[in-house]
Amino acid sequence: MTTFFDFEAEFVDSLRCIPMAVRMKLDTCGVKLKLSHWMQLTQPERMVLVNMACTTAAEAKIYRDFLQKLITEKTGNPAGELAIDTHPAWLDDSQIPDTVLEKAREFQIEISLEQWQKLPPSQRFALIKLSRPGHENLNFYPALKEFHIVDA
């Protein structure tokens, strides 16, 4: 069973936003799902996507095919495609992405490599996504607290 982050609490019950667990799967399987696509899905369909495995290459292909079929049925067209990173930053605990470091510095926080290495890939993924330039990223600081990088 997939767990959600505390910073996602305001929309988890309705799944009105795409949760990080699904966003990570989208990056893993190479699908660019728009919020408008997500909103076309029923609550049970969204939960299937939340809970469906997407870790191995075989699982990613099954997830991608299932999702594209679902979106095509709902909208008449498949979702866009993303290049699949064979070495995604969230699986690399040897260096902290610059975007994460820069975003943390906006809060006068320095993330150590040791802290980064202690995070599971799902938490590293969330921090990477929440630190992207050009987004409000209101949940970055709450995520730092939730992941015990800063005191709550």
pLDDT value at residue 152: 57
* In contact, 80 and 114? CB cutoff 8 Å: no
pLDDT value at residue 133: 85
- For the CA atoms of 67, 125, 130, 62, the dihedral, rounded to the nearest 10 degrees, stands at 0
How many other C-beta atoms are found inside a 10 Å radius of the C-beta of residue 3?
A: 11
Q: What is the pTM of this model?
A: 0.92
* In contact, 82 and 27? CB cutoff 8 Å: yes
pLDDT value at residue 92: 96
Using the structure block, give the residue that is written with the tokens 């866009």: 80
111 three-state secondary structure:
coil
* In contact, 47 and 58? CB cutoff 8 Å: no
Residue type present at position 59: E
What is the distance of C-alpha 56 from the center of its chain? 17
- pLDDT per residue, tens digit, the chain (152 aa), is 568 999 998 887 888 899 999 999 999 999 999 999 999 999 999 999 999 999 999 999 999 999 999 999 999 999 999 999 999 999 999 999 999 999 999 999 999 999 999 999 999 999 999 999 877 678 999 999 999 999 85
Encoding tokens for residue 77? Answer: 């067209």
Encoding tokens for residue 102? Answer: 């820069």
Encoding tokens for residue 38? Answer: 């997500």
- Report the chain's terminal Cα–Cα distance, integer Å: 26
- Using H for helix, E for strand and C for coil, what is the string for 50-106? HHCCCCCHHHHHHHHHHHHHHHHHHHCCCCEECCCCCCCHHHCCCCCCHHHHHHHHC
